Amino acid sequence: MKKSGKKLMSVVLAGAMALSLAACGGQSADATTAAETATTAETTTAAETTTAADTTEAETEAVEEEAAGENQQADIVVIGAGGAGMTAAIQAVQDGATDVVILEKMPITGGNTTRSTGGLNAAETPYQEADNIEDSIELFIEDTMKGGKELNDKDLVTVMAENSAAAVDWVNDIGGDLSVVGMFGGASVKRIHRPSDTSAVGPMLVKALNDKVAELKIPVLLETKAEKILVDDSGKVSGVTATDKDGREFTIDCTAVVLATGGFGANSEMVVEYKPDLAGFCTTNHGGATGDGIVMAKELGADFVDMEQIQTHPTVNPDTQTMYTEGVRGNGAILVNKEGKRFVDELETRDVVSAAILEQTDKVCYLVFDQAVRDSLAAIESYIKAGIVTEADTPEELGEAIGVDGTALAETLTAYAGYQAAGKDEEFDRESMELPLDQPKYYAALCAPAIHHTMGGVKIDTQTQVLKEDGSAIPGLFAAGEVTGGVHGGNRLGGNAVTDIVVFGRIAGSMAEDYVADNGGHTEAEITAEEDTAGAVPAVQGDYKDGVYEGTGKGNNGDITVEVTVEGGSIVSITLKEHGETAGIYEAAEKGVVEEIIKNQTAEVDAVSGATNTSKGIMEAVSAALEEAK
């Protein structure tokens, strides 16, 4: 491959990642359970021998334009910096790859992985053994096939199950924490592995991945959208064309591509194209899940499978689009309708529970639990802080607070406690009843189904090679994660998506590295990563009174208090003093919004995509502080 002689510099920061949750009509809202590593730095280009000290602004722009017009080079290009993409990149480097680059169209990494609330399903792990849980690869396969209505590609399911225990070990080896085993819908036994503090898996996993990417110095080009995968005359992958945040187009010549762009749950038009009855549904997906990889693969003649199989998640707050983890139900919560009655086995598969909710009054229900359930699951605290959970001292008072017949609700809870004590659910045959739900306080959260996961996608084989309609592989093209189809069939079991992205992400990274080694070998990295150490500086003169001021605004999980320092009439620093934001979400907003406020000397700036509510909270807090500085 031809070297351009210029380096495309990617600024990579370690930390947590921001999560966006797309609302109705394609609008984004923050998810309260996911984390993101804020890598909000710009992609810049510079000549190798040019330094900031002796380059004028005009010269720098000229160099950028020149470099942007020339082909760059990498051995492996990973499209998408979500869980599958980062896993693939890390595994490739661990296997010996020397020249890997990740392209990410969003200003932050993490994708849908950042909002994953459950855990990673795995069988025959030491954590199950320690808890005397009898599980097997065969049972894992059986549960997944049954949950997927037998539409799954059994070969892919088998690979996932067989490699699931190793996936847990790998996540823990790179700095993650999967050590607690719990129950989830569709599983015959406790199989889902979660963080030791029982918090959501997404924040933990994305932070671990992001930290490892930074440690391995794998460059991530943010706000860089892959436009087209290129192939040579023989049909082999030869490069990727992309566009940066300033609209400059460039090409990266490469030997292999890993397609990890995620699903299309935030693309309402594409959703309705494949499943018209979901028109008007909201979504739990981040704003970047728009099916870009589907489009690029289609241009190459890739085959697709199960495109009409689109899953809704049953327990999503219809006002904020916050997704309640299935762990709440797994740990004992029940679902009641507006009449205060249960109406389904709460641990049924997502499609069954979603359908049952849509048959209730106003097509909504309430997730009801007690203090014991709250104490058992740290993830619940984010819902409490977000103000989307109602609480009361008695079932009767809780019913009154949410507009449900309190007597009926109390009777439902009393009956359930009896079923739990007897070990038999007389109404819906729920098998796992962890707690009797009789410990005050009592809690209720409004729920409705929302588009959650697109099970269909590009067809791959067990080596993650992307296949054409005739069954032949596209040489050099691999895929992993939600962009692929076949793993989950007609319904995805909670906990299997994280297993999917780690297992097949690792395979894709290994296979891409093997392909490079067999087709020209490794090259020296041309696109490199460096740390961003520059601080924000005012671009205009402010007009404020010097001093230190405090203000408070409403963030995603409650109040955000900031301290604003004004010197020489300009805002020179903004510090978040107190807040309850989810670790990982606020970092993107803290960096991006604070820099823009200082640069423009106004709190009226754009929110960071993926951390919208936190961004607005910071802006509101700064505005309040600046009232005193006028």
Active site residues: 350
Q: Provide the terminal-to-terminal Cα distance of the chain, rounded to the nearest Å.
A: 59
DSSP for residue 489: T
Residue of 356, 353, 360, 363 lying closest to 491 (CA atoms): 353
474: Cβ contacts below 8 Å, ≥ 6 apart: 231, 235, 237, 300, 301, 302, 465, 466, 467, 468
User: Which one-letter amino acid corresponds to residue 601?
Assistant: Q
9: Cβ contacts below 8 Å, ≥ 6 apart: 43, 44, 45, 46, 219, 527, 528, 529, 530
Residue of 82, 99, 97, 85 lying closest to 37 (CA atoms): 82
SS (H, E, C) 308-324: CCEEEEEEECCCCCCEC
Residue of 506, 588, 28, 501 lying closest to 290 (CA atoms): 28
277: Cβ contacts below 8 Å, ≥ 6 apart: none
Contact between 19 and 202 under an 8 Å Cβ cutoff? The reply is yes
Helix, coil or strand: residue 446: strand
Angle between helices 137-147 and 154-162 (to 10 degrees): 140
Cβ-based burial of 455 (10 A; exposed 0-12, middle 13-18, buried ≥19): buried
Alpha-helix residue ranges (DSSP H) falling in 339-472: 350-358, 371-376, 380-385, 395-402, 406-422
Quote the CA–CA distance of 540 and 537 in Å, as a whole number.
9
Quote the CA–CA distance of 440 and 181 in Å, as a whole number.
26
Element (H, E) at 548: strand 547-554
Contact between 343 and 356 under an 8 Å Cβ cutoff? The reply is yes
570: Cβ contacts below 8 Å, ≥ 6 apart: 538, 541, 542, 544, 601
